């Protein structure tokens, strides 16, 4: 009896460890967002892996030599939670030890602003900036790299977190 219970529980535990619900299968519900860059930024086709390197401050320059300036929302933001889970693979709170270690190497975390409007203003006015917002920006001063989830008015590629991991 115990062996049968354990063998039935094992697949459920494996799904839970992957952050997936057996009721949802492989799909994961994600708050939609668009990754935006300053207009004219050279690297137009970044993968989530490249964006993760940028937000971990491991990629510090664009292909044209411009310094990358990532911008985050506050840790308490639901959009920051969704972005971090999807792009970085972990919650912002779990990055605290990473940033403490990086600080001792002279590396500071990305800028933090209070609102999505502030993200758009920062990205539009800062050469090399990159950020994320929950709706497709209508301002021509920023470009959308890609979207996660359903943002129908955005002109760039739409994908799920899983489908962009290897692109």
* Tokens 């940028």 -> residue: 54
What is the rounded CA–CA span in Å between residue 91 and residue 101?
17
Which residues touch 27 (CB under 8 Å, ≥6 apart)? 20, 160
Pairing outcome for strands 69-72 and 33-38: unpaired
Tokens matching residue 166: 């290897």
**What is the per-residue pLDDT for 46?**
82
**What is the per-residue pLDDT for 30?**
67
Taking a C-beta distance cutoff of 8 angstroms, is the pair 146, 37 a contact? no
**What is the per-residue pLDDT for 82?**
92
- Per-residue pLDDT tens, the chain, 167 aa: give them: 544 444 444 443 343 443 433 333 334 556 899 999 988 886 767 888 899 999 999 999 998 899 999 999 999 999 999 999 999 998 888 888 888 888 888 989 999 999 999 999 999 999 999 999 998 888 788 988 888 888 877 776 666 676 555 44
How much is the pTM?
0.78
What is the rounded CA–CA span in Å between residue 139 and residue 1?
62
Tokens matching residue 22: 């057996």
CB-count burial class (<10 Å; 0-12, 13-18, 19+) for 99: middle
Q: Which domains does the chain have, with CATH numbers?
A: 1-28 (no CATH), 31-164 (3.40.190.10)
Kindly report the CA angle at 117 between 86 and 151, in degrees rounded to 5? 45
């Amino acid at each position: 009896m115990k062996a049968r219970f354990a063998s039935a529980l094992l697949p459920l535990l494996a799904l839970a460890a992957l952050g997936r619900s057996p009721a949802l299968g492989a799909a994961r519900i994600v708050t939609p967002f668009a990754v935006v860059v300053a207009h004219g930024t050279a690297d137009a086709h970044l993968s989530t892996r490249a964006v993760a390197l940028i937000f971990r401050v491991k990629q510090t320059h664009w292909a044209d030599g411009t310094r990358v300036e990532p911008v985050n929302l506050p840790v308490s933001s639901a959009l920051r939670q969704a972005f971090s889970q999807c792009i970085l693979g972990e919650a912002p709170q779990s990055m605290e030890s990473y940033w403490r270690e990086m600080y001792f190497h002279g590396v500071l975390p990305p800028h933090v602003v209070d609102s999505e409007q502030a993200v758009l203003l920062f990205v539009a006015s800062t050469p090399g900036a990159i950020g994320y917002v929950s709706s497709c920006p209508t301002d021509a001063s920023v470009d959308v790299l890609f979207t996660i989830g359903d943002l129908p008015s955005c002109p760039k590629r739409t994908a799920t977190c899983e489908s962009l991991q290897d692109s």
